[in-house]
Amino acid sequence: MSLNLDDKKAVVAEISAEVAKAQTIVVAEYRGIQVSAMTKLRAEARKQGVYLRVLKNTLARRAVQDTSFAGLGEHMVGPLVYGISADPVAAAKVLADFAKLNDKIVIKAGSYEGKVLSAAEVGQLASIPSRDVLLAMLLGVMQAPVSAFARGLAALAAKKSEGAPAEAAAVEAAPEAA
């Protein structure tokens, strides 16, 4: 279905708005994928907060023009699905994980912080834990000394309470002997 000029402008404006919020864009070829598989990919992307869309490459090039993602324009060839995310690893993770399960999705390139990434680099970016996982790991590291100290105090208190009756009997027997 062909778009008229107003529709094209609306699509470019919508994509430009998403690109303005984005930290990462990943492009993948979807040639020969079944509709049910694409529906699953879209559902997973939505769940992870990734904007996923099939676009005309000329409209996508126009949307990323004059942005830090402009270098990605030379990779915009063929039937592509675009994953755009504000989370640096979410788009790469969604598309890379899906590409492992479905060989019809082939990651072509990506862009992060103004740098164009190859398919291998997108895979490396996808292997980085998400922001939430990294924050949980940091919290665990920060809590470890405090919880170890608390366990030490609890063990010391338990040891003292076990030894307390014997010490009390020794103290009571000592005044009688004197």
pLDDT tens digits for range 59-102? 999 998 888 898 888 899 989 999 999 988 889 999 999 999 88
- Is the pLDDT reported for residue 13 higher than 80? yes
- Does residue 85 sit in the same domain as residue 160? no
Model pLDDT for residues 52-63, shown as the tens digit of each residue: 999 899 999 999
- Does residue 124 sit in the same domain as residue 49? yes
- Is the pLDDT reported for residue 40 higher than 90? yes
Whole-number CA gyration radius for the chain: 29
Enclosing domain of residue 166: 130-178
- Is the pLDDT reported for residue 17 higher than 50? yes
Contacts of 104 (CB under 8 A, 6+ apart): 30, 31, 32, 33, 34, 37
Task: Report the CATH number at residue 105.
Answer: 3.30.70.1730
- Does residue 97 sit in the same domain as residue 81? yes
- Does residue 59 sit in the same domain as residue 122? yes
Number of domains in the chain: 2
SS3 132: helix
| Strands of the sheet with 24-29, listed across from one edge | 51-54, 80-85, 24-29, 106-112, 115-117
- Does residue 162 sit in the same domain as residue 83? no
SS3 136: helix
Domain final residue, candidates 128, 150, 168: 128
- Does residue 85 sit in the same domain as residue 29? yes
- Does residue 67 sit in the same domain as residue 104? yes
